[in-house]
């Protein structure tokens, strides 16, 4: 497949055009969906060379597919990485970041504020494979240093193999200093993986800030329409090659060609959508701060957010996610969510529709009460994925529901 990099300096144009595919005289604007499981070989020599990785090409869509490959190349360009590999879900991308560098007997240091599925992987699944995880306060880069030194002091071979962070963190919008944590990890020769799902490659570039791998649940903002599931990992050629070997060849978690096409479609409009998501979220966060039934608002775009200045440094905008504590705890939060008419009660995020959920009983239900408290997730905490509707309609809906409490 012929490709050409364009001399594009402006981000928004890159999202629409990179990379330009020169495949046939037809030159379709929307890259085709190669909906096939298998590709034929010209001869047995070509087949042997492909299986021996002596020749590039496609022979089985679990390993690679032209539509998926174009999506991977686009993500590598947009995230400023050497290569990318796509998966059937965001959780597969999280697992890939781990299995690219860690094996039985190794350890990981992770920020405490994490998506519930990631936390379950780290606390329940990885230990079955002999990989353990230490959790630290993501606000404190030195906490990572202490955890690494503590682990390595107990193991002469220095078995900490990965530092893993989310920023903004799910669901409390915790902001982690990517450059600071990367500097600490690299001092010990340890790579850093960043879940960039909340920010997207339009608002934040972890690899440019020092991280080694960046991953996304493409189900969210990259797809952007709530109609596909997927994940992607971007990083060095070596990390991506190992992740592809383990997760696609060994385990088998590929992104489908159709979902890759949906992601390519979503990327073209991502800048415009993230601008609107961010504008609407700021409006709603400012409204919630003034309402008597709201105890606290979590949004890095607010000047009183504890990491507002850091967010300004490493993000272009503040994104479309808002968290808030409702006065009256869980019962009040349930009353609010059950009273909404425009906003939809549903998990996930990044859709055109505004979605609301209760992390303690939904996305983070795997956390114990103690773990919820450590992560700052209260019984009255509500997570809002602000969509693309008119902000006044969203504010009116929230106001009416809050007034019913």
Q: Which residues are catalytic?
A: 62, 115, 195, 220
- Residue 243 CA to residue 61 CA, distance in Å, equals 16
Q: How many CB atoms lie within 10 A of CB 3?
A: 13
Stretch (H or E) spanning 335: helix 329-339
Check: CB of residue 133 under 8 Å from CB of residue 172. Answer: no
| Residues ≥6 apart with Cβ < 8 Å to 230 | 86, 87, 88, 89, 90, 217, 218, 219, 222, 223, 255, 259, 260, 262, 263
Which residue(s) pair with 314 in the sheet? none
Stretch (H or E) spanning 64: none
- 293 vs 286, 289, 324, 325, 342, CA distance in Å? 14, 9, 10, 9, 19
Check: CB of residue 215 under 8 Å from CB of residue 93. Answer: yes
């Amino acid at each position: 497949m012929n490709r050409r990099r364009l001399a594009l300096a402006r981000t928004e144009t890159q999202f629409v055009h990179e990379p330009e595919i020169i495949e046939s005289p037809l030159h379709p604007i929307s890259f085709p969906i190669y909906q096939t499981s298998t590709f034929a070989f010209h001869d047995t020599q070509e087949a042997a060379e492909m299986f021996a990785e002596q020749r590039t090409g496609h022979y089985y869509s679990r390993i690679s597919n032209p539509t998926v490959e174009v999506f991977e190349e686009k993500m590598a360009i947009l995230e400023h990485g050497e290569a990318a590999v796509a998966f059937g879900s965001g959780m597969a991308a999280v697992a890939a970041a781990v299995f690219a560098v860690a094996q039985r007997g190794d350890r990981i240091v992770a920020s405490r504020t994490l998506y519930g599925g990631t936390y379950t992987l780290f606390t329940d699944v990885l230990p079955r494979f002999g990989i353990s995880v230490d959790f630290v306060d993501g606000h404190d880069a030195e906490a990572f240093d202490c955890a690494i030194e503590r682990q390595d002091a107990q193991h002469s071979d220095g078995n900490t193999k990965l530092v893993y962070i989310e920023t903004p963190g799910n669901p409390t919008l915790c902001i982690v200093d990517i450059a600071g944590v990367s500097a600490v990890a690299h001092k010990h020769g340890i790579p850093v993986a960043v879940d960039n799902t909340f920010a997207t490659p339009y608002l934040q570039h972890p690899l440019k800030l020092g991280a080694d791998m960046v991953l996304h649940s493409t189900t969210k903002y990259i797809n952007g329409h709530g109609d596909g599931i997927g994940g992607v990992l971007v990083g060095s050629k070596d990390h991506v090659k190992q992740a592809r070997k383990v997760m696609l060849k060994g385990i088998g978690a590929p992104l489908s060609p159709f979902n890759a096409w949906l992601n390519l479609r979503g990327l073209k409009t991502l800048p415009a959508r993230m601008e609107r998501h961010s504008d609407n979220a700021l409006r709603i966060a400012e409204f919630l701060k003034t309402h008597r039934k709201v105890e606290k608002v979590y949004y890095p775009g607010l000047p009183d957010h504890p990491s507002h200045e850091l967010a300004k440094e490493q993000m272009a905008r503040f994104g479309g996610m808002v968290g808030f504590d409702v006065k009256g705890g869980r019962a009040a939060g349930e009353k609010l969510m059950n009273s909404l008419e425009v906003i939809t009660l549903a998990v996930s995020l990044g859709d055109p529709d505004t979605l609301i959920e209760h992390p303690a009983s939904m996305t983070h239900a795997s956390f114990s009460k103690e773990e919820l408290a450590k992560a700052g997730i209260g019984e009255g905490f509500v997570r809002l994925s602000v969509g693309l509707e008119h902000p006044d309609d969203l504010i009116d809906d929230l106001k009416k529901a809050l007034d019913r409490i």
